[in-house]
Amino acid sequence: MVVALLVLIPVVAAAAIVVTAVKSGMVPNKLSMLVVCILGVLSFTIIDTMVQTAIDVENPPPTLVGFIGDSVISISDHESAVKFSEITGAATIKAGIGGQTSSQIAARFEYDIAVHRPSHAVLEGGINDNVWTNYSVKVPVLLGNFTYMLGICQKYNIVPLVMLMTPYDSLSVANATLWNNANEELRELITHYYRAVCVDVRPNIGQAKVGGPPGNYWVWNPAYASDTIHPNFAGCDVIGTKLAASVP
């Protein structure tokens, strides 16, 4: 609507000027129509360029992307960052460390990732927090750590791609329910941050856990898992592809 008005205003103004000129006998009618058309095309071209420039500034293409997390990011046989780079052409910073909690990941986010001023950052972690063992205490810590990293992203104009926790096959249905609840709280948190993208790869690499709710993806699809918690080569490719497709 705003763009349409911006295009329309100069055209209407030009038409008014030409009509006034015609009434005064200053220019022929055919020439006046040609002037209106030319001004209309020029106005549309200028506004379209301005809008496209604004969109490109708001959603820049990935050029340098930081990957930070636990072993889901650092898995040694292949990394999702490799596939992401193949698809987008972006350079990547790989800062996954196996076994780390979200607190450890957040503590090094600024000097491992943000200091390099990447255009985008993939934030992954939480499975090692074991939130199901003390949900009321550990989930606020988890959310606080992601809040901190999202705040750093906003401070430095980094577009965050936040991964929800991937499956953990060894969990009981009760504990998997708590794990899933934590993921949903993280999903809600992400909505409060400008340009932050929630990336849920579970539908792409998971399958239903027996005893879980209909439509759940709470365990790994064996085709994409190297064990009960880690992706294999194919799983990393799927994750990298989903991340690339999630870039705004």
C-alpha distance from residue 12 to each of 5, 34, 36 (Å): 10, 14, 9
Q: Are 67 and 92 in contact (CB under 8 A)?
A: yes
Say yes or no: 51 and 129 in one domain. Answer: no
- Give the domain-ending residue among 58, 85, 105: 58
Residues in a beta bridge with 207: 219
pLDDT band at 50 (very low <50, low <70, confident <90, very high): very low
Decide if pLDDT at 241 tops 60.
Answer: yes
Domain that holds residue 22: 2-58
124 with 204, same domain: the answer is: yes
Count how many domains the chain has.
2
Same domain membership, residue 99 and residue 38: no
Task: Work out the average pLDDT over 96-105.
Answer: 97
For the chain, how far is it from start to end, CA to CA, in angstroms?
22
Q: How far is CA 163 from the centre of its chain?
A: 9
**Do both 83 and 142 map to the same domain?**
yes
- Residues counted in the chain: 248
pLDDT at 79 (0 to 100): 85
Domain shared by 69 and 54, yes or no = no
**Tell me: the pLDDT tens digits for 134-151?**
999 999 999 999 999 999
Q: For the full predicted model, state whether its pTM sits above 0.85.
A: no
Write out pLDDT tens, residues 175-206. Answer: 999 999 999 999 999 999 999 999 999 999 99
Do 45 and 17 have their domain in common? yes
Question: Cα–Cα distance between 240 and 73 in angstroms, integer?
Answer: 10
DSSP H or E run through 51: helix 29-58
Contact 233, 225 (CB under 8 A): no
Q: Last residue of some domain: 43, 58, 73?
A: 58
Confidence of residue 67 (pLDDT cuts 50, 70, 90): very high
Over residues 32-51, mean pLDDT: 47
Whether residues 183 and 220 fall in one domain? yes
Let me know whether 101 and 23 are in one domain: no
Contact 72, 230 (CB under 8 A): yes
Q: Which residues, at least 6 apart from 166, have a Cβ–Cβ distance to it below 8 Å?
A: 72, 127, 201, 202, 205, 206, 220, 229, 231, 239
144 and 52 in a single domain? The answer is: no
User: Among the three residues 34, 58, 82, which one is the final residue of a domain in this structure?
Assistant: 58
| Same-domain status, 179 and 241 | yes
146 is written with which tokens? 């992601």
CA distances from 156 to 117, 120, 137, 140 (A): 7, 10, 30, 24
- Residue 60: pLDDT band with limits 50, 70, 90: confident
**pLDDT number for residue 18:** 53
CATH number at residue 216: 3.40.50.1110
DSSP-derived letter for residue 185 is H
> Are 207 and 95 part of one and the same domain?
yes
Q: Are residues 38 and 125 in the same domain?
A: no
